[in-house]
Amino acid sequence: MPKAIKGNAGRKPPEPSANHSDIDDWCRRLMPDLQPIVKRLDESIRATVPGLDYAVKWKRAYYGLPELGWIIEIAAYDVSVNVVFLGGADFESPPPLGTTDRTRYIKVTSLEEAQRPELQKCIEQAGRTPVGRDGHPPERRLGARQPPRKTSGASVPERAAKAITASRPSRRY
């Protein structure tokens, strides 16, 4: 039986479109209480960053620029909306939430929170921060040549033998 792919390794990035209709359709299917929040966030992103591409995939809205890649993702849940900045770790003042890779996010639960100045600053910075279409920075895109990984100096057979013996249960009774 083939091994299942874990995490995001098997995911293909969204296909960009200059048409905003997919995001409009996605927004209409959200929880009614979240629709005004998402619409306000969408308006703010479109007003701040010109020339955007759009996509909806995995029940999330994506905003990107051809030269920078996908820069913002909006994920709507039952009572809140996460505005994910895919290059947020590189911002002058990174958003407070998130520690995985380069993504950082801001949780929004009301229309007032969607209009905060710090959120607007993050949107502006996202429009200047390169990420890449696949969510990786341009120099780390999938398929790009990577520097060789450092090893412990042991040969492949030595490392394999060490891994096998480490995985065996001890026979203490």
What percent of the chain lies above the pLDDT cut of 70? 69
Residue 134 pLDDT > 60, yes or no? no
Which domains, and CATH codes, for the chain?
21-138 (3.90.1150)
User: Alpha helices of 15-155 — where are they, by DSSP H?
Assistant: 21-28, 35-48, 117-126
> What confidence tens digit (pLDDT) does each residue in 107-128 have?
999 999 999 999 999 999 999 9
**What is the per-residue pLDDT for 68?**
92
Residue 154 pLDDT > 90, yes or no? no
pTM more than 0.75:
no
**Per-position DSSP letters for 138-168, written without gaps between them:** GGG-TTS--PPPP--S--HHHHHHHHHHHHS
